[in-house]
Amino acid sequence: MTRAHFALRLLEQEARALLTRLALVKPFALNDTMVLAASVPIPAQAAIETFLARGRRQLAHMVNAFIRWLRGGRALRTPISQVQRRFTFLRLRFNAVLTQFDIFAAVMTQRSQSEIGVWLSGLDVASADAITIPGGYYTPPPIVCYLDRGHGAAIRRARTRLPGGGANPVAVLRIPRERMVGSGIASSLVHEVGHQAAALLDLVNSLRPQLRGIQLAPNPDRIAWQLWERWISEIIADFWSVARLGVGSSLGLMGVVSLPRVFVMRIDVNDPHPAPWIRMRLSCAFGQALYPDPQWEALSQIWESFYPLEGLEPSHRRVFSLLEGSMPAFISLVLAHRPARLRGKSLREALQVEGRQPARLRELYREWQRSRSSIYIAAPSLAFAVIGQARADGAISPEEESATVARLLTHWALRSSLDASEICASLGAARPASGSTELVTLH
C-alpha cells in the first residue's frame, strides 16, 4: 500500500469514527428523565431539538460527502496536506456541534434534579412574564433557565450566533446557585431578561445616538455622558428590572454588588457594567423616578454608609460627582425615550408602571395575607414585586420569603405543565375520528 493510500484510509477511518460518535448524540427527549412539572416549555424544547437535529443532519451529510470523495479517487490526485486540512475543518465543525449540544445539556439535565428541576421550570414561567409587555411590540422568544456556579447571572440571547454558527433558537438564562431561593433571584432574573427585551426593542442602538449628541455639545459633564453611553446596555437591563420589580430589584442588586470596597469604587471604561457604587445609586434614582417613595432615598443613604466616599482620590471622586450631577437628565432621557418599535410610546408608558407603585404593592401584600390563594393568581413579576416590597418594609422574614418563593415557583411550574397538557389534549380531541388508531410523533 502506498503512503497516499494509507493516509487516505486513516482519514476515512477518522471520518467514520466521527459518524459513530455523532450517532451517540441523542435527542434530549430520549435521554433526560424529569417530572412533568420540571419540563422545559414545549416551544423551547421543540426549538432546541429542531436546531440540534438540523445540525446533526448537516454534519452527517458533510462527513458522508467527505467519505464519498475519499473513495471516489479524486482524493488521490489531491495533495495529502489539503486532504488533511479538509478533514481538520470537518472535525472542528463536529466539535462545534458538540459544544452547541452542551450549551443546552445543562438546561435539560438539571430538570431531573429533585425540587431544583421544578423551580427552574417556575423560573421559565417568570422569565416569560417579565419579558412580556402589553401592546404586541414584539414576539418574545422562549426562555429557559439553569443554575451554575459564579457570582452573577448571564444570558445567551435568542437569535445571537452560537459557537460553530447558527442562531440561538431560545434565550438561555444562567442563574447563580447562591441566588436560590428568595426574592433576590428575581432581580438577577429580570435584569437578564431586560437584555433580551432591549434587543427586541433595539434600545441600545436607538439610545446611543442621543447620548453621543449630548457629548458633541459644550458640556462640563461630557465625561459622565461618555460613561453613560459606555454602560448603556447594562443600565437598560437594570432599568427593566426596576420597572418590573420595584424596590425588590434594587435590594437584589445590592446583594450582588456588595463586594470589597476596591471593586465597588472601581471605574473601568472597558467594562460594560457601571462602577458598582454608581450603579446602585442609579438603581435607586430610577426607582424614585418611576415609583416615588421615601424608601429610595433611605436605601441610597444606606448604600453610601456602606461605602462612604471619604478617602477616594480627588479625581475619582470628581467623576462620581459628575455622574451624580448628570443623573437626573440621563434618567429623564431614558424614561422619555421613544424607540421606533414602541410606535410612538415612551419606555415609561410602554411598561405601564402605574400598577406597581409602592402603595399598591403594600395593599396587595395585605390582601394576600388575608387570602393566601390570591398570590397564586397574580402574574409572576407582580408577585415578585409585592414580595420585594414586603421585604423592604420588613413585613416578611427571610425564612417566610424563601418559603413563599419556593411555593410560587412550584405552583407556576405545575400550572404551566398542566396548561400545556390541556392544550395537547384539546388538540387531540379536535382531530377527526377515524377507523384506525393514529400515532403522533413529535420531531
pLDDT in tens, 152-205: 789 999 999 988 788 999 999 998 887 776 667 899 999 999 999 999 999 999
171-176 and 154-156 as β-strands: parallel, antiparallel, unpaired? Answer: antiparallel
Work out the average pLDDT over 17-25: 86
Is residue 192 a contact partner of residue 77, using CB atoms and an 8 Å limit? Answer: no
C-alpha 408/C-alpha 384 separation (Å) is 9
Domain boundary among 88, 109, 130: 109
pLDDT at residue 426, as a whole number: 59
Which class for 308: exposed (0-12), middle (13-18), buried (19 or more C-beta within 10 A)? exposed
In a domain, 344, yes or no: yes
**pLDDT at 419 exceeding the cut of 80:** no
Instruction: Check residue 23 and report its DSSP letter.
Output: H
Domain with 268, as residue range(s), is 202-243+258-351
Is residue 83 a contact partner of residue 4, using CB atoms and an 8 Å limit? Answer: no
Answer yes or no: do 325 and 222 share one domain: yes
Amino acid at 71: R
- Closest residue by Cα to residue 38 from 440, 425, 414: 414
Looking at the DSSP assignment, which residues form a beta bridge with residue 147? Answer: 175
What percent of the chain has pLDDT above 90? 59
Q: Give the length of the chain.
A: 443
116: Cβ contacts below 8 Å, ≥ 6 apart = 110, 147, 180
pLDDT at residue 218, as a whole number: 83
In a domain, 214, yes or no: yes
In a domain, 28, yes or no: yes
Q: What is the pLDDT of residues 130-167, one digit of tens each?
A: 999 999 999 999 999 998 877 778 999 999 998 878 89
Hey, what's the cell of 162?
452560537
Any idea which residue has 431614558 for its cell? Answer: 334
Is residue 337 a contact partner of residue 347, using CB atoms and an 8 Å limit? Answer: yes
C-alpha 385/C-alpha 402 separation (Å) is 14
Instruction: Please tell me the number of Cα atoms within 13 Å of 72 on its side-chain side.
Output: 9
- 3-class secondary-structure state, position 148: strand
Answer yes or no: do 230 and 344 share one domain: yes
Distance set, CA 277 to CA 176, 267, 361, 387 (Å): 22, 9, 27, 25
C-alpha 178/C-alpha 150 separation (Å) is 8
**pLDDT at 56 exceeding the cut of 50:** yes
Work out the average pLDDT over 26-51: 83
Hey, what's the cell of 122?
417556575
Domain boundary among 75, 109, 143: 109
In a domain, 61, yes or no: yes
Could you give the number of structural domains in the chain?
A: 2
Answer yes or no: do 336 and 229 share one domain: yes
C-alpha 78/C-alpha 68 separation (Å) is 14
pLDDT at residue 197, as a whole number: 97
Domain boundary among 323, 351, 379: 351
pLDDT band at 330; cut points 50, 70, 90: very high
Higher-pLDDT residue of 437 and 98 is 98
pLDDT band at 427; cut points 50, 70, 90: low
Answer positive or negative: Cα dihedral of 294, 195, 254, 267: negative
- Bin 420: left if φ > 0, else alpha if -120 < ψ < 50, else beta: alpha
In a domain, 7, yes or no: yes
Answer positive or negative: Cα dihedral of 389, 392, 394, 400: positive
In a domain, 47, yes or no: yes
In a domain, 299, yes or no: yes
In a domain, 23, yes or no: yes
State the pTM of this model.
0.86
